[in-house]
Amino acid sequence: MNSVIEQMHRPLRCLCAGAFAMCIAAGAYAAGESDYEKGFQAFKSHDLITAMQYLEHASSAGHAEAQYLMGFILDNADENERAKQYYQQSAEAGSANAAYALGVMYSSGDGVERDKAQALAWYQRALDAGHGPAAETLGLAYIDGLLGLEQDPDRGIQILQRAADAGHAPARQLLQKLAEDPSKKQ
């Protein structure tokens, strides 16, 4: 009889343990979100010291946008290695902004060794997430044969068109310029 009761309680214990873990994770996320909001407000007020304190807490809780903003602040302070770490964490958590920022770092060699393949991979990841500036960058790279890509104006225009269709005004403006100057599409 005892073994039957134990067998019935084992799944219940696992379920309770899982629910407890989810509650802890939800609490950590809520704390991360609160710290991110406070950090973002401090950032908007140009109080970078306070912003970084809150953003560091939110980043530690796994808040992707806090990680991106920490990367952005550090990148602008020429703390490139630390910026790259925050961008990497954020991009791996799904931030298109962070993926784009990593693409910029690798394509320019700003704070990292220039690596066109890495730049393209990060730009593509940002593009796949619907990031407008990544569409501009990759669209122009295909049109002009940049970043080690073979020139493919049709593919570049397709990328720009997709971004324009999604409402990205600069992509729409680039398409208009290309339509006015067909020599750019050659």
* 85 neighbors 59 (Cβ within 8 angstroms): no
Does residue 28 have a pLDDT over 80?
no
Query: In whole angstroms, how far apart are CA 124 and each of 6, 68, 100, 184?
Result: 52, 18, 8, 23
Give per-residue pLDDT as tens, 68-113: 999 999 999 999 999 999 999 999 999 999 999 999 999 999 889 9
Cα torsion through 113, 117, 122, 127, rounded to 10: 140
| CA distance linking residue 92 with residue 86, whole number of Å | 10
Share of the chain above pLDDT 70, in %: 81
DSSP at 93: T
Average pLDDT of span 110-133: 94
pLDDT at 152 over 70: yes
pLDDT averaged over the chain? 84
How far, in Å, are 73, 91, 98, 160, 168 from residue 129 at the CA level? 23, 11, 11, 14, 13
**pLDDT value at 5 more than 90:** no
- Rounded-to-integer distance, Cα 66 and Cα 54, Å: 9
* Token reading at 81: 């290695």
The pLDDT value recorded for residue 22 is: 38
Q: Where do the structural domains in the chain lie, given as residue ranges? A: 130-186
In which residue are the tokens 């997709």 written? Answer: 162
The three-state secondary structure class of 41 is helix
How much is the pLDDT for 72?
96
Least confident of 44-48, 55-59, 62-66, 176-180: 176-180
